[in-house]
Homo-oligomer: A and B are copies of this chain.
């Protein structure tokens, strides 16, 4: 069961660059890029910071993909 995130959409809607988001959250730009490109999931701590920073409900930013009920 995979995790879906809507970071890119929310970030772009707010006119924020990956660079600014990374700097403000004290991670590297590559980390933001990798997460947006679904290379891996953010840690719980970073996830909470992202939702807070982007000012959206946590579960609208991250949720489980129910279509892959049986998948790895």
Contacts and interface: CB of A to CB of B under 8 A. Distances in A.
Interface string A29-56: 0000000000001111101110010000
Query: How many copies of this kind of chain does the complex include?
Result: 2
Q: Sort chain A's interface into a size bin.
A: 10 to 19
Contacts of A2: 45
A1 B27 CA distance: 14
Contacts of A3: 44-45, 48
Contact of A58 (B41, B52, B58): B58
A18 to B, nearest CB: 19
A56 to B, nearest CB: 12
Interface of A: 1-3, 41-45, 47-49, 52, 58-59, 62-64
